Amino acid sequence: MKKQLNATRVAVIGAGHSGIEAALASARMGVDTVLFTTNLDAVANLPCNPSIGGSAKGHLVFEIDALGGEMGYAADLATIQSRTLNLGKGAAVHSKRVQADRAEYKKIMKRTLEREPNLRLVQAEITDIQTADCDGVKRVTGVTTHLGDVWSADAVILATGTFLDSKIFVGDRVYSAGPDGMLPATELSAALVRLGVELMRFKTGTPARVNRRSIHLDELEVQNGEDSPIPYSARTESYGASVNRVGCHVVYTNAETHRLILENLDRSAMYSGNISGTGPRYCPSIETKLVRFKDKERHQLFVEPCGLDTEEMYIQGFSTSMPTDVQYDMLRSLQGFRDAEIMRYAYAIEYDCANPTQMLPTLEFKKIRGLFGAGQFNGTSGYEEAAAQGLVAGINAALAIKGEEPMILPRSSSYIGTLIDDLVTKGTSEPYRMMTSRSEYRLILRQDNADLRLTDIGHRVGLIDGERYEKFTERRKMIEDEVKRMERTTVAPSDEVNSLLTEHGSSPINTGIKLSELIRRPELSYKILQKIDTGRPNLPKSVQTTAEILIKYEGYIKRELAEVERQKRLEDKLLPPDVDYSTILGLRLEAAEKLNEIRPLSIAQASRISGVNPADINVLLIYLSQRRQAKA
């Protein structure tokens, strides 16, 4: 059937990382979708570091892939170096991070969008959101472009990134622009205010890009990739050490760098009073680092290539809003940078975003049906956080149109669930960044088991096809079988066995012992025991990793799963959607106000709201009990 011009079921605004995942999810679930971008050449742009993953962020990418998203697969194809962070720590915080080829990543994603059935990619700036009142409820009906075209739509997903009324700051220079000098979206901000959307003002920034030829890389510390990395995506068929095609480097600030920055602090847009937006706590500018950590003698910086076909080098950790002359002085004070040539100047960017407590856990606005928010529009920072939200918003928009139950991921299921619950329940007063410490369940939310946790859900909503699901079930069975084998296998004492144990600082054995018991010894590992494990099958590295973790951390995992079950009982105690909390006897005024504002879905969500204490939760439990008795 021919598609009607200027009509769609789902309209996605913005083709950054959240918009791409939202549009692909909706289209792949069989819903007609249009993705709008102000510039087709900026689709999937990586305006800051061209890297994907990192601490906790790598977990998000594995989860996105497990649900059927695209980021992990595109990152695998564009990888030029891969490393796993935190290997010296426990398995819960091991996090994959890749340096991607910026141009290649954009090309891969744009081609994927262009070839996706049910999806149209359109260059147009959206300037207004159309709504109508339906039985007293405000509902989205479409969008308006800068050319005056009106597109009808049943759902609209706002994935505007840092473009809403955005301003660039370099020293005392201020001008309206989006990232990389793109045009800002000024009219849409005003339209959202007219709709009653509460906006906040946030700030972020990026460092300078330096020409490789002007850096004396031989004077810097080299940082190589890892051997035999595991890919992000289950779809990636060939992936090995060959992905490490570049080296990264490390350099440090010094006393002269610090002197230059502190003497020119009044010239930084951050400290001159020009910027009113709140910046990210966990990715601050170099000026903020020096002010906040006055006693630190040096700060580590990473020199990373932006791609194979460009000489641009990204200086991670050196974000600034200093004027251009100071940027040169700062850079040239670094070892190996005395001849540095800046190709792109560093800048700070200020932009509008929405207070995420206005949204449900589905990322739909509570007061505007059919309107969803995702990504930096929701007050987060980072490509991975954006993509995760976009995927959830796209899935839920499609499910709503198809008349199916929404997908709500609990905190215990994923970092994605934790991210969204934090946003819609607690809100954020600064750009939100995912960290492993934000989850109370991080031992069961590891990156190695993301598929075990989420692929069933991805298959159920229609984003994991039958062939891929069959491969997943094979992997799951291999893990289960290997765990059982290690629990059944007995290792008999022998000179060879005890020699190996002694070599690795482990106590020798004088009687038979289960292989699983040896694996649990902190000083031993699955790899070390390979020499004496004669019946070991030939398994993929990813299967070995997960099976070993399940054995080694079995006791801790069981305790965490018991806590999940305890919390699930509170998640299952649903709160009425229409209750007026100010009428519940015994609730404190502050708690009633917060509960009326957030409208939690369950007792568990209510317990996580700032300003709601355990006494208030007891009142709610009594209220629910009395309500059930009254109905009975």
* All structural domains of the chain with their residue ranges: 209-349, 476-559, 572-631
For residue 138, list its beta bridge partners: 133, 368
Which three-class secondary structure string do you get for 285-312? CHHHHHHHCCCCCCCEEEEEECCCCCCE
User: How many of the other CB atoms lie within 10 Å of CB of 618?
Assistant: 11
Sign of CA dihedral 99, 103, 105, 106: positive
pLDDT of residue 422: 97
pLDDT of residue 426: 95
pLDDT of residue 4: 62
> Residues near 158 by Cβ (< 8 Å), separated by ≥ 6?
13, 14, 192, 354, 371, 372, 373, 374, 377
In CATH, 209-349 is 2.40.30.260: yes
- CATH assignment, 476-559: 1.10.10.1800
Alpha helices in 174-316 (DSSP H): 187-195, 255-263, 286-292
> Taking the complete model, does pTM exceed 0.75, yes or no?
yes
pLDDT of residue 51: 97
Angle (CA) 530 531 536, round 5°: 45
pLDDT of residue 275: 80
- CATH assignment, 572-631: 1.10.150.570
Q: Which tokens sit at 219?
A: 């004077």
User: How many of the other CB atoms lie within 10 Å of CB of 122?
Assistant: 17
**Closest-CA residue to 543 (of 268, 234, 255):** 234
Q: How far apart are CA 567 and CA 565, in angstroms?
A: 5
pLDDT of residue 253: 97
Sign of CA dihedral 189, 193, 198, 200: positive
The DSSP code sequence of 89-109 is S-GGG-EEEEEE-HHHHHHHH
pLDDT of residue 1: 43
Q: Please check whether residue 387 is in contact with residue 69, taking contact to mean a CB–CB distance below 8 angstroms.
A: yes
Q: Please check whether residue 464 is in contact with residue 68, taking contact to mean a CB–CB distance below 8 angstroms.
A: yes
Backbone phi and psi for residue 462, each to the nearest 5 degrees, phi listed first: 105, 15
**Closest-CA residue to 574 (of 373, 408, 395, 443):** 408
Q: Please check whether residue 527 is in contact with residue 545, taking contact to mean a CB–CB distance below 8 angstroms.
A: no
pLDDT of residue 278: 81
pLDDT along the chain (632 residues), means of 10: 74 98 98 97 96 97 98 97 94 96 98 97 97 92 96 98 96 94 94 97 96 98 93 91 92 97 92 79 87 92 97 97 97 98 97 97 97 98 97 98 97 97 96 95 96 98 97 98 97 96 96 96 95 94 96 95 93 92 94 94 94 94 91 82
